Amino acid sequence: MSVVRRFATIPGPRPLPLLGNSWRFAIGQKPWQTRSLDVTLWNLRALAGAGGAAKVAKLFGHPDLVFPFCAEETAKVYRREDSMPHRAVAPCLKHYKQELRKDFFGDEPGLIGVHGMPWSKFRSKVSKALVAPEAAKAAVPSLDDVAVDFLDRMEKIMDHNREMPKDFLTELYKWALESVGAWALGTRLGCLSEKDNDAKEIIKNIHGFFHSVPELELSAPLWRIYSTKAYKTYVDALDSFRNLCLKRLTDKGVCAKIAKSSGEKVATILALDLLLVGVDTTAAAAASTMYLLAKNSRAQCRLQAELDNSLPVGRLLNSQDLERLPYLRACIKEALRMKPVILGNGRCLQSDAIISGYEVPKGSHIVFPHYIMSNEERYFPNPHDYTPERWLRDTERTDDHVSSKSCYIENESNDKICEHAKAALIAKRQREVGIHPFASLPFGFGRRMCIGKRFAEVELQLMLAKIFHKYNVSWRYGELTYSVTPTYVPNEPLQFTLDNRKKGK
């Protein structure tokens, strides 16, 4: 019979008397930097040892954090979750909604930064309209429109070497913002056009918002003492988004449905939450997928072969067309496995539990570090190889060599043959170990999982399908490094090169 170990024995950095462990992040020496939480997590993984857990205890104003580095333990905790999962995040947003602008939000605080009954009531009002597969399918025409405009914009902003500008990540924010606007508000915000003044204002605010979030949510909360510059920028941006949602809510879009069933105020608050979390997330996912494909010509060729075979000619894309693109879906899943947008999901324990053989008291904050698990050999053989094939189901797996034929003939190099053989081998090894359903959870799990998952998937599929159908995307620079901002985004400029494909080869 296994012995249950005491909470105090969970390995982790030793807290100092009075200062706890907060001083580590205040000093900010590696591996304790909020912008490098990926490094912090690998360090905790090493401390945890085989199959175990680690903890970071005694952080000011924060419950103790426990990190179970095990997919089975993750499954156990998620499955015992009650009907109102508690995810402790976004103190500054909570302050904005529940203190600063309490007059507006009142007892309808939305989904983000909210827990318990208020969250549960709000989620049940909006869930059906957002998560139903039909909601994402219905969005295809308007998202396709946005993707077409984004490709036009890419042509305009590329330099004479066909390279994207240094601030291409901001361009991806604009695409994501325009897409959420089209889906949620049923309107085009104009973020992909140079002329629209309203759009300029929105872009200025989105810039301000995403630059202030890391300081407010990840560093010492000085904003609680006085109105820091980042705090003012953040509040201005939120006020302006709130006004935007009030002003631009139309009778189309998914929020219009909510307005009919639950009133305009609920619809506006929902639209605001969707704007706040639906922009940097999809932009980061698009950036990482483009980067990993740009660096892997084998996978890019195979994707292009699928697109050439399955995309319709001479008519708009529809949701059935997207269903015929399993390799594209696998490319996105593989990118989110290697570079998840959110490194770990969190839950606050609502009752005592035993996790990885340790007693863990109620109130502890469990962080499921799926970034680590999805990059570990035991769950994903050759974890550092971008191999979308590992995600293909038996029915989706065509003969690797046949489907990558165009790539093979074009290159005629032994290296390429080796790459195909290597990918086939990794996919085979992955089939042997299987994919643990809790080892890669980029959208979270359970009642509180990402409400925009289906929408994000469709949005990404449409835009990436168009890009890789039209262009060969290449990367001429060194390895990208990433930071947590709090989404996991590349640090360096995303200067992809986009060459028109010569079709019919």
Closer residue to ligand HEM, CB minimum distance, 208 or 278: 278
Residue 176 Cβ, how far from ligand HEM at the closest point, in Å? 7
One-letter identity of residue 18: L
Closer residue to ligand HEM, CB minimum distance, 277 or 494: 277
Whose tokens are 């989904």? That residue is: 111
| Element housing 67 (H / E) | strand 65-68
Q: Which whole-number Å values give the CA distances from 486 to 212, 318, 435, 492, in the listed order?
A: 11, 34, 27, 16
Residue 255 Cβ, how far from ligand HEM at the closest point, in Å? 11
Residue 341 Cβ, how far from ligand HEM at the closest point, in Å? 4
Residue 336 Cβ, how far from ligand HEM at the closest point, in Å? 6
Residue 335 Cβ, how far from ligand HEM at the closest point, in Å? 9
Closer residue to ligand HEM, CB minimum distance, 136 or 427: 136
Closer residue to ligand HEM, CB minimum distance, 121 or 211: 121
Binding site for ligand HEM (CB under 6 A): 87, 111-112, 123, 180, 273-274, 277-278, 281-282, 285, 341-342, 345, 442-445, 448-452, 455-456
DSSP 8-state class, residue 263: -
Rounded-to-integer distance, Cα 21 and Cα 44, Å: 14
Q: Of 251, 245, 244, 260, which is closest to residue 125 (Cα–Cα)?
A: 260
Rounded-to-integer distance, Cα 396 and Cα 398, Å: 6
Instruction: Give the 3-state secondary structure of residue 62.
Output: strand
Residues 6+ apart with CB under 8 A from 421: none
Residue 41 Cβ, how far from ligand HEM at the closest point, in Å? 15
Angle value at C-alpha 302, between 299 and 303, nearest 5 degrees: 85
| Element housing 360 (H / E) | strand 358-360
Residue 328 Cβ, how far from ligand HEM at the closest point, in Å? 14
β-pairing, 353-355 vs 365-368, is unpaired
Rounded-to-integer distance, Cα 242 and Cα 269, Å: 8
Residue 98 Cβ, how far from ligand HEM at the closest point, in Å? 15
β-pairing, 65-68 vs 365-368, is parallel
Rounded-to-integer distance, Cα 210 and Cα 145, Å: 26
Residue 407 is assigned to a ligand binding site: no
Instruction: Give the 3-state secondary structure of residue 16.
Output: strand
Q: Of 113, 108, 458, 115, which is closest to residue 258 (Cα–Cα)?
A: 108
Q: Of 492, 487, 483, 490, which is closest to residue 28 (Cα–Cα)?
A: 483
Q: Which residues are annotated as a binding site for heme?
A: 450
Q: Which residues are annotated as a binding site?
A: 450
